[in-house]
Amino acid sequence: MKKASFYDMPTGRIGIAEADGAIANVFFGHTVRPEAYETEETPLIRRAAEQLFEYFEGRRRAFDLPLQPIGTRFERAVWDTLLTIPYGETRTYGQVAMRIGNPKACRAVGRANGRNPISIFIPCHRVIGAGGALTGYAGGVEMKERLLGMEAAKQPTTSGRSQRE
């Protein structure tokens, strides 16, 4: 059975679930939770929450956690590709489809992106529609916009100073 714990983050209430020694789910307060879980804060869940807090504070750009997303081979290929999108950057569904070697799979990439069980850690918020349109996100389009805006604001400028300074 999965263990899960809930945290009040700057973006609202977030749940983090662990299964078999790896992070299995991240879910927002109003989204679907894993089917079966026991509320318990494990050391791994605590570490994941600490990394999320650091991310929201702008002190972390990459996560160092074991992840165990459950999905089809295609979905896992999409999620693996999402992990390569750098902090503060975006890719279109078409670019992700090209990267996995299936350029006509834009809609399937969108479905796989929407089924990502480990939001933020697997950065599905960094995938946008053609022309820069912010499309659906499990946490809501407003959350997606907020995450992308936060990452953009914490990007260094050419002088090496952050745009926020």
Active site residue 124: yes
Give the residues across from 28 on adjacent strands.
14
Residue 25 near residue 67, CB atoms below 8 Å: no
Residue 141 near residue 135, CB atoms below 8 Å: yes
- One-letter amino acid of 110: G
Q: Which of 67, 74, 99 is nearest to 84 (CA)?
A: 99
- Choose the catalytic residue: 45, 48, 78, 124: 124
Residue 85 near residue 29, CB atoms below 8 Å: no
State the Cα–Cα distance between residues 137 and 143, nearest whole angstrom.
8
The residues that are catalytic are: 124
